[in-house]
Amino acid sequence: MDYDFQCIALKIQKQDYPSTMKVPEVSQNGAMRWKSYFWSFLTDRPKGKYVGTEDKGNGIWRVFYRDIFLGYFVDKKRQTSIN
């Protein structure tokens, strides 16, 4: 049989995070810039993408990529705990 396959380009729409979230960009090495001059490594998977960070109080932030919860970020220690 002769099959004719077509490539369908899927356009991924831009993620709009709530206005209460800070939205840093993940660099090519997998780190995000925090407060202008600190860097914290997240993971290299969403490099070049934006992540949403939600304040939970006491310097603890929840980190999301789109609607996927990645883990926690401790602002005071600049440590990341990714699941």
- Written as one string, the DSSP assignment of 27-42 is -TTSEEEETTTEEEE-
The answer to whether residue 83 scores a pLDDT higher than 80 is: no
Confidence bin at 16 (pLDDT 50/70/90): confident
Residue 56: per-residue pLDDT:
92
Model pLDDT for residues 17-30, shown as the tens digit of each residue: 999 999 988 888 88
Torsion angle, CA of 68/70/16/24, rounded to 10 degrees? -170
Question: Which amino acid appears at position 50 of this protein?
Answer: Y
What are the phi and psi torsion angles at 29 (to 5°)?
-95, 5
Model pLDDT for residues 34-65, shown as the tens digit of each residue: 877 788 887 777 788 899 999 998 888 899 98
DSSP secondary-structure letter at 9? P
Residue 82: per-residue pLDDT:
60
d(CA 74, CA 80): 6
pTM to 2 decimals? 0.70
